[in-house]
Amino acid sequence: MEKFEKLTGVAAPLPMVNVDTDMIIPKQFLKTIKRSGLGVNLFDEMRYDDDGKEKPDFVLNRPAYRNAEILVAGENFGCGSSREHAPWAIKDFGIRCVIAPSFADIFFNNCFKNGILPITLPQSQVDMLMKDAEKGANAKMTVDLEAQTIATSDGEVIAFDVDPFRKHCLLEGLDDIALTLEKGAAIDRFEKTAETRRPWV
């Protein structure tokens, strides 16, 4: 998993509440088990019309936000069904950080497991960041995970909380498999001991 240390990038404003996982990646795109290739279908029904043409008014279709790496959203982001394809699609599009007043629990946990930093902030601070994001491509934010701060394009700094273990995993680029492999020596010792004690197994 790619490490997350410090991210400076364009933030896209999505002032919508209750954005569910079917809005993030509709069910017809869940057939794949690959983590790549889903970015083009992120927010599919909001981004494209029935003929597959881009809707120019949707934020990620606007020139200023096509390369957004941060998403500022409304409360209860990622609600609905528990599909890991949702963070896959977000990451594949290029977004590494989502900021919102609240998240659905399963989506929130899945973000950390896939190298995305979800940040929960009070509504007043999200509103401030939303206004900053509305300035467009020239207004970049900086998210510093080590320092646990967000710097706006005007230089205002907001602190955020993050679970220490999840912070460690993101900083080191450790997913569940990598965490297990860190214990490789201990696992080998256990297996050798178990084989000696129970050779019939």
- pLDDT tens readout for residues 95-107: 999 999 999 999 9
Average of per-residue pLDDT across 53-59: 97
pTM value is: 0.88
Judged by DSSP in three states, 6 sits in strand
DSSP category for residue 95: -
Give the position of tokens 């696992």: 187
Assigned fold of 6-197:
Aconitase; domain 4 (3.20.19)
- The answer to whether 42 and 92 have CB atoms below 8 angstroms apart is yes
Q: Which residues of 145-174 are buried (b: 16+ CB within 10 A; e: fewer)?
A: beeeebbbbeeeebebebeeebbebbeeeb
pLDDT digits (tens, 9 = 90+) for 114-157: 999 999 999 999 999 999 999 998 889 999 999 999 999 999 99
Provide the residue ranges of all domains of the chain, joining segments of one domain with +. 6-197
Residue-wise pLDDT tens digits, 13-50: 999 999 999 999 999 998 888 888 999 999 999 999 99
27's enclosing H/E stretch is none
